[in-house]
Structure 1
Amino acid sequence: MSRAVAAPERNDASVAAQQAAVRGLDAMAVERAAVENAEAGGIGGLLRRIDWSKAGLVVGLLLFAAASIVLYHLLAELTWTDVENAIARVKWHEVAMAAGATALSYLALVGYDLLALRHIRAKVPLRAVAFTSFVSHAFTYTLGFGVLTGGAVRWRMYQGYGLKPAQILAVGMLCAVTFWLGITGVAGLGLVLEPSMLAPLDGLDARLNLAIGAVIVGAILAWVVASAIKPRTVTISDWTMPLPGAGAALGSVLVGLLDTTAAACALWLILPDGPDPGFASFLVVFAIATVLGVVSHVPGGVGVFEATMIVALPLVPQADLVGSLLLFRLVYYAVPFGLASALLGAYEVRHRRETVGRIAGTLGSLARPLVPRAAGVAVFLGGVVLLLSGATPAEHDRIRVLRSFVPLPFVETSHFAASVIGLVLLVVAYGLVRRMTNAWRLAILLLSAGALFSVLKGLDFEEAIVCTVVVCLLLVSRREFYRQADLFAVRPSFEWILAVIVAIGASIWLGFFVWRNVEYQNVLWWDFGYHHDAPRFMRATLGVFVAALGIAAYILLHRSQPAADPAAPDEVARILPLVAASPRSEANLALLGDKRFVLAPDGRGFVMYGVQGRSWISMGDPVADDGEVDDLVWQFKELVDRHGGMPVFYQVTTQHLPAYLDAGFSLAKLGEEAWVPLTRFTLEGGEGRRLRQAKAKAERSGASFAMVPAAEVGTIIDELEEVSNLWLTQKGNKEKGFSLGFWSRAYMLRYDQAVIRHEGRIVAFANIWRGADRREYTVDLMRYRPDGPAGMMDLLFIGLLSQAKSEGFAWFNLGMAPLSGLATHRLASLWSRIGAFLYRRGDRFYNFEGLRAFKDKFKPEWRPKYLAFPGGLALPQILMDVTGLIASSPRRALSEEIS
């Protein structure tokens, strides 16, 4: 074939050579290259391009696919019930003897490691060899891929006893070689002794199977003789390993015989009674099935081993054989693997106490945030289990036992109570997600009661175990539930409410489905008996429904916000010195009477805040020295976290942004604040011409500016109130608070007032805030009469700016222009683009652009202000809560004042 392929290519090469000669090229070189290409394109080239390292996996995949098809056809008429019945017929003492045979098999496997270690002249204590052999073989047999599983275990264990990497690699390879010598030797001997047993499997004549067995045994004997004459080695690059000699080869066959015999015995002991092929014949089939399973590279030879056994043992009933094979998987593979995993874990913990402790601490810290959610889900599932259990019938055998020592009223009450507890657990689970202490206590109480009632209502130990396990989870995670909030005062999320409805609906549907053949009668409600499950379900369903309505009504009507009420007068008195000493004029917002306070431990700073819904909103940065701001941010966040709220800092400055970022907050720009540098403010010259003209125009209309000290405000308070009321009426506004002042006589009497008079009456006023270090001067509440003269507000601010400059202040704060200065770039945040759109298009709601234009007349510096919030999708709700708090603060303050 290669010649047939090469011939035309060689002709093409001659043509190419002639053309190359014409062009002055070396024709021989071209033809030589063409010939080489032709040879490379033949079968030899194709074979060289095949990646033979993957051939084993391909063969294994084909074997597994063939075994799967065979099993599918063989077991087409088999049902799981048949298998369950077959497993139930196996006696426990037979399983115990199979476990003993398994132990003998794994003990025999130690011989492979001993032979390998002896061959490389390495000394390792026998107990260490036994431990390593058991763990490595358990991992290899169950998981497959011995180089990665059992080899890794040997590498980990033997390096602790001084073996070098080359020696450990040699041990692994020698164990593989001796294993194959042993298992093939057993298979060959079996074919020689019982050649007819494989006829159902390979379809070959017994004499041919005998010949195959003789060839395998002969090959092993030839290897033994050749090894005795001349030792063999394997060389890989610079590394050389001697192959097992005659003694090691014979020893491996002996070890393989002991291992395979014990393993086959483990399955043989749990086979059903019936046609007996004889243990020797069964051993042959078992050995061949094991070889095919190992060749398949499938972990544990799953599927391949079973298909081989089923095909080779046609006389054994399929259901019984499948049940025995499943039990064999459990006894020979699953149990040793679980024990090996536990032993390896204990070994690592013992030898790496410090590392394990450090890793455990790291994993614990990483998993800690997930604990409340996991606990909530576990408690929710516990509630679902109790609800579903109450909807299904109890097992009659258990009820027969129960009625002998539990009176019927206890059974009925326990069933009803367990179902109601299941419902309450669905609600309590949400409190656990929110880390509430009350939810933690209630969950432990209810789960403990649910476990007891599960036993009393029908010996439902499964439900009791579930409840107990969840209680243990809650007990070990006690520190994660620390929030002192009212469980039923917190509104669950829509998703959680939906999950509760689905759980209740599923339990009711299941109950009606189970009892669909029971004809409804009114008398069923009052039908009590040990075996009367349908009436119990009806009563429990009614109880769950009533309890659900009661909880829903309580949550809707009960609004407990202990931290939302304003601070008491004595708290306000404690922060008065701090407000007076603060360089920030907005600290005076603490005196509105609508806020609560978080005091620094040393009493030298505070956070003022209000609560609206779940949002705990701090007004501005903490009022404190720069060095204490970070601690107060964390202190406020911890307080909010304990109560299950969302911490928010409203209108914070750029000065302390790192504190909020370090505390995990996200930032959203709210707008920009206008700061007028008073050193540059003037009414003189060309710069002050426009302001000077505005002032002169207002004064020509009869308006005048004046300052009224706080001590004299009482004489004009009635007039100020009249102006305030007219302003509110004309604007159609209601008083707002929290971030700005509102009318309150007590509040207004604290401050100097700037007033504009016209024809002997006050037509405009503003109360004045001063920073403690003469850095900041500003106003808070400003009101004017609708019928006042034109230019009165210009006159008011010109007079204030002149007054502030004359008092030696550095800056005049004109306040914030909301939504101004937000980015409009297409890659900006969604909030920024929405805010910028509202700034440009929202004049019908608020004069955004007009307000900024008015303040721009005084040539201010614009400084951004931000909202610091937890991030995620909470921003819309937080903005609504801030708006609600600003609108409701005056009512809260006045109600507190009245009380």
Structure 2
Amino acid sequence: MALWVLLPPASLNFFAFAAIFSAATAFGAISHLPGGVGVFELVVLWAYRGAAQSDVVVAALIAYRGVYFALPLVLSAGLFASFELAVAARPRGTPEDDRVARAIKRLSPTFIGALTFGAGVMLLLSGATPMFNHRLEILSLHVPLWLVEASSFLGSLVGVVMLFLARGLIDRRDGAWRLAVALSMVSVGFSLLKGLAYVEVGFLSVLILLLLTTRPDFRRPTSMLDQPFTTGWFIAVGVILLAAFGVLWLAFEGVDLKARDLWWEFAFDAQAPRALRALVGASVIATGFGVSQLLRAPKGFAPPPAPKELAAAVEIVRRQDRGEGMLALMGDKSLLFSASGRSFLMYGKRGRSWIALFDPVGPCAERGSWFAALSNSPISMAGVQHSIKSPRKACRFTSMRAFP
């Protein structure tokens, strides 16, 4: 009903529209894109060809996305931010309150990742659509042209980067959080300078507030560039870029986008060249991410334990009093022995991360020899140095992670 009210009057009745809406929703669900963005719009535009002007249908679809998706998302993000602030400010509550707070914190990285992904889509579509002429006239009186052009171009670049940042936020990465906060703040300025886009500023402000209030949830000290991006993630980004180009083509239907002179046209009212340059730049950034993933070093191989290694682990386990060492005998974890062979570390591998299970198994006197063993392996030594210097943990090591 929300979309039916926004669409222009056409020869289609409500029941025909309901069939179109159902088909567009089904195709959007099959595409596995968030909200079927791009796919839903193309189906509706194709169905309304000849029945209404395409630019009017595009405007209705954008308004529908704002009313039905963006507005509830902004409201829920605001409520979520207020909840996080309230939890941080009040003293420890009842066990029931603590369980609710823990459940919310488990969901917060995914929720913020979805918000960041939505912000990236918003910035890309904003760069592909024309701004209001009266706002550009106001900007022309106070802002130089080069600043408007740069803000439009860089805003789309930030948009495609935020599509990839969402993955790092879902994984609770500290580097992704820092970059998301910085880019969101910069995007506020870009949104104002490219066309006084107040709605974008409001959405980005809520995202910044939510990122700041949930800072404790992003503590994984790993770089955003270290994470592997799945094929499905790249397909989603590619489809969103194609949808942005489709919106660009429909929004500037009367402009010859293939003209060579269009690329070098710079003026406050030259919105089609500005949008075309911005989307091409965003496509180059997305392609660069894809190529960098293809050129990454191999993930490495964690060999299963050999029978001789398992036999050596059995002897070490028998000579110490730690029961967790018996888990090494299951044969599903790789083993790393110290230089003397009197202690070992069991670890597993997931993606590009090598993750140790418990501390090294063996006598306390072996803790110094682990520096030599770890210096020739991909496992970080920072946690070991900290635990050895701690007098309360003379025989304990902290958990260690490794990256090939």
The verdict on a shared fold, with TM-score over 0.5 as the criterion, is: yes
2:351 is the alignment partner of 1:613: yes
What TM-score do you get using the length of structure 2 for normalisation?
0.56
Q: Distance in 2 between matches of 1:479 and 1:585?
A: 35
Q: Distance in 2 between matches of 1:510 and 1:79?
A: 18
Q: Could you tell me whether the CA contact under 8 Å between 1:488 and 1:558 is conserved in 2? A: no
Instruction: Name 1:406's counterpart in structure 2.
Output: 143
**Pairing partner for 2:205 from 457, 468, 488:** 468
- Residues 877-892 of structure 1 aligned to structure 2 (within 5 Å): none
- Residues 263-662 of structure 1 aligned to structure 2 (within 5 Å): 360-520=97-257, 521-559=259-297, 581-582=319-320, 595-596=335-336, 607-611=345-349, 613-614=351-352, 616=354, 623=361
Give the superposition deviation at 1:435: 0.8
- Residues 728-767 of structure 1 aligned to structure 2 (within 5 Å): none
Q: Distance in 1 between matches of 2:295 and 2:7?
A: 53
Task: In structure 1, give the amino acid aligned to 2:127.
Answer: G
> Which segments of 5 or more consecutive residues in structure 2 lack a partner in the other structure?
10-78, 80-85, 304-312, 364-379, 381-403
1:817-849 per-residue CA deviation (whole Å, 9 max, x = no partner) reads xxxxxxxxxxxxxxxxxxxxxxxxxxxxxxxxx
Closer/same/farther in 2, CA of residues 376 and 563 from structure 1, 3 Å limit? farther
Closer/same/farther in 2, CA of residues 407 and 366 from structure 1, 3 Å limit? same
Q: Could you tell me whether the CA contact under 8 Å between 2:300 and 2:352 is conserved in 1? A: no
Report the number of matched residues: 263
Q: Secondary structure of 2:247's partner?
A: helix
Closer/same/farther in 2, CA of residues 524 and 473 from structure 1, 3 Å limit? same
Task: In structure 2, give the amino acid aligned to 1:450.
Answer: S
Q: Distance in 1 between matches of 2:337 and 2:167?
A: 29
Q: Distance in 2 between matches of 1:509 and 1:468?
A: 28
Closer/same/farther in 2, CA of residues 586 and 429 from structure 1, 3 Å limit? closer
Closer/same/farther in 2, CA of residues 399 and 578 from structure 1, 3 Å limit? same
Q: Could you tell me whether the CA contact under 8 Å between 2:252 and 2:272 is conserved in 1? A: yes
Q: Could you tell me whether the CA contact under 8 Å between 1:439 and 1:487 is conserved in 2? A: yes
Give the superposition deviation at 1:442: 0.8
Q: Distance in 2 between matches of 1:399 and 1:540?
A: 17
1:382-418 per-residue CA deviation (whole Å, 9 max, x = no partner) reads 0000000000001011111111111000000000000
Closer/same/farther in 2, CA of residues 559 and 523 from structure 1, 3 Å limit? same
1:656-704 per-residue CA deviation (whole Å, 9 max, x = no partner) reads xxxxxxxxxxxxxxxxxxxxxxxxxxxxxxxxxxxxxxxxxxxxxxxxx
Give the superposition deviation at 1:493: 2.9
Q: Distance in 2 between matches of 1:356 and 1:608?
A: 39
Q: Distance in 1 between matches of 2:95 and 2:117?
A: 32
Task: In structure 1, give the amino acid aligned to 2:225.
Answer: F
Instruction: Name 2:54's counterpart in structure 1.
Output: none
Q: Secondary structure of 1:403's partner?
A: helix
Q: Could you tell me whether the CA contact under 8 Å between 1:376 and 1:430 is conserved in 2? A: yes
1:7-48 per-residue CA deviation (whole Å, 9 max, x = no partner) reads xxxxxxxxxxxxxxxxxxxxxxxxxxxxxxxxxxxxxxxxxx
Q: Distance in 2 between matches of 1:531 and 1:495?
A: 38
Q: Could you tell me whether the CA contact under 8 Å between 1:579 and 1:588 is conserved in 2? A: no
Q: Secondary structure of 1:471's partner?
A: helix
Closer/same/farther in 2, CA of residues 458 and 580 from structure 1, 3 Å limit? same
Q: Could you tell me whether the CA contact under 8 Å between 2:336 and 2:344 is conserved in 1? A: no
Give the superposition deviation at 1:448: 1.0
> Which segments of 5 or more consecutive residues in structure 1 lack a partner in the other structure?
1-77, 83-341, 343-348, 566-574, 599-603, 626-641, 643-891, 893-899
Task: In structure 2, give the amino acid aligned to 1:365.
Answer: R
Give the superposition deviation at 1:431: 0.6
Identity of aligned residues (%): 34
Closer/same/farther in 2, CA of residues 623 and 469 from structure 1, 3 Å limit? same
Closer/same/farther in 2, CA of residues 384 and 622 from structure 1, 3 Å limit? same
Closer/same/farther in 2, CA of residues 377 and 588 from structure 1, 3 Å limit? closer
- Residues 699-718 of structure 1 aligned to structure 2 (within 5 Å): none
Q: Could you tell me whether the CA contact under 8 Å between 1:596 and 1:610 is conserved in 2? A: no
Task: In structure 2, give the amino acid aligned to 1:513.
Answer: L
Q: Could you tell me whether the CA contact under 8 Å between 1:368 and 1:480 is conserved in 2? A: yes
Give the superposition deviation at 1:498: 2.8
1:60-80 per-residue CA deviation (whole Å, 9 max, x = no partner) reads xxxxxxxxxxxxxxxxxx999
1:585-606 per-residue CA deviation (whole Å, 9 max, x = no partner) reads 99799xxxx85589xxxxx986
Instruction: Name 1:679's counterpart in structure 2.
Output: none
Task: In structure 2, give the amino acid aligned to 1:527.
Answer: E
Closer/same/farther in 2, CA of residues 551 and 355 from structure 1, 3 Å limit? closer
Give the superposition deviation at 1:612: 5.6
Q: Distance in 1 between matches of 2:328 and 2:239?
A: 50
Q: Distance in 2 between matches of 1:423 and 1:395?
A: 23
Q: Secondary structure of 1:404's partner?
A: helix
Task: In structure 2, give the amino acid aligned to 1:549.
Answer: T
Closer/same/farther in 2, CA of residues 360 and 560 from structure 1, 3 Å limit? farther
Give the superposition deviation at 1:607: 3.6
Closer/same/farther in 2, CA of residues 606 and 470 from structure 1, 3 Å limit? farther
Q: Distance in 2 between matches of 1:597 and 1:475?
A: 43
Q: CA RMSD in A?
A: 4.2
Q: Distance in 1 between matches of 2:280 and 2:6?
A: 40
Closer/same/farther in 2, CA of residues 554 and 404 from structure 1, 3 Å limit? same
Larger radius of gyration: 1
Q: Could you tell me whether the CA contact under 8 Å between 2:169 and 2:218 is conserved in 1? A: yes
- Residues 31-42 of structure 1 aligned to structure 2 (within 5 Å): none
Give the superposition deviation at 1:81: 9.3
Q: Distance in 2 between matches of 1:588 and 1:374?
A: 40
Closer/same/farther in 2, CA of residues 355 and 461 from structure 1, 3 Å limit? same
